[in-house]
Structure 1
């Protein structure tokens, strides 16, 4: 292992040259005190002014010395955002230890990172897709993870927001498409089908599979399936309230799964498959209670839990858009329960 680490560091030095106090990158076209590029884009989200070293890296494409960054060995769950504009770039789920001396990720958040030829003619530079700020470089074929990709990123190019923090929630909300200012979080059995059903709903901008409602930080799929984390397979829905209301979102939720099944959906058994609405405020809670009361009036023995929203942990990448990619997992067929009394064909939903 030590030999591998030494080889990686030596390779980086040979590619980039010796690091100087200002940490000039091999891709830099001039000295670090050169004028800022005319193409530097204005930040979209309010962020603190860049420090001198941050500007050297983000605007002038310098590189921090290996093992000097605050995020190199960070393992906390959360989201890494662009230091210049605040756009979410990477999830802690995709971070891994490469031993190269810089934070390493094997994937980026969808559409967050742009690749372009490096000035050295050999490497591939990665920049923030929103503001164009320099992040580092991306390498393939090294075999560190199953994705066989390594984003080598400067710590000074990023800020970190812990999972479930207000800062993370605000950053993720701001990066959603314009108009998508509202969020709903629900659980109704296997998240593949729930996510797929919401993706097709007009007014929905994004649907993300994940885990929430439990006590284990940054859980894995295997841990959640073990039934000891308290988390449910859930879906976070971002939507445009001018097109679709929260009530319409929840009505669809109650119609694509069976809210009368306790801690299960069809053959999937366990509290990780529970029916639940994770409300973000009192208004959402009131809407959920009203719809549940309506279903009970129609004769449905609703067992859906109402839980205050807590940290939402994005599921592994292979779960995202699973039904769309594989054609499997579409097990949530809509049943018009609000129009059909219990016993009239709107009861238990079979998977």
Structure 2
């Protein structure tokens, strides 16, 4: 039995748990190839025209797995905490794929609605294990090992690593620190994000993303936000950004967003207004399947240069 995992959307948030769980069950896991122009084009061919690029991309990654896996995992993500749900396109993803991609008859659809309860998570793991022909004890052991793998992954990210990009550590002594916020399936997909994070590091910046902040730190920012949003990933971006703004522990914030994303449009406006009020340099980089590398590089370089000039003037005034 080979189970295919599309390398996008949920992959960049929960792959340490998913991969560890399936491997511990004794299932062969096949991950789709790295995002490429061909995969995006394949997705655009079948996805509805008004879908955002991450959803189009998911279609392409599913098609990339057609001849490589017996089953392809397509979770119906509903909730992982009590406060919010996922974007409507996440909730309806299995239905979209079933009606958009011809002859897609090997979907492994799993409904994920835990509301933050480990008991509900185990029920989902047990259901998945039974579908794959595994028993209770196997599922129990695999779930616990997967949770440990996920916790270790989160700990390493909080220590400064950017594991999805293959970056084991960063130099924390860099003069410029930037908060780079966005959904994990945009930030950590090198092709889709046009390698924004690596570009910033090459420009001499220390990059901090939402996943590098402890959950406790982000939860504390709830008191500073008048009203949380309805979507899990959006709240994660919002809390991390407010932490950067209120603690002034970064020199600027870059919001990386996908064109056509409704929830992110609200997040971006809130961040723009908050940064303007607190005098924090802010840049929005909007991406879609047509965005060019050189244009993004020019904007990043100009943003970093502006921050360097601002810091130099401030230091000169103090001295």
The alignment's TM-score, normalised by the length of structure 1, stands at: 0.28
Whose helix proportion is higher, 1 or 2?
2
The alignment's TM-score, normalised by the length of structure 2, stands at: 0.30
Q: Which structure has the greater CA radius of gyration?
A: 1
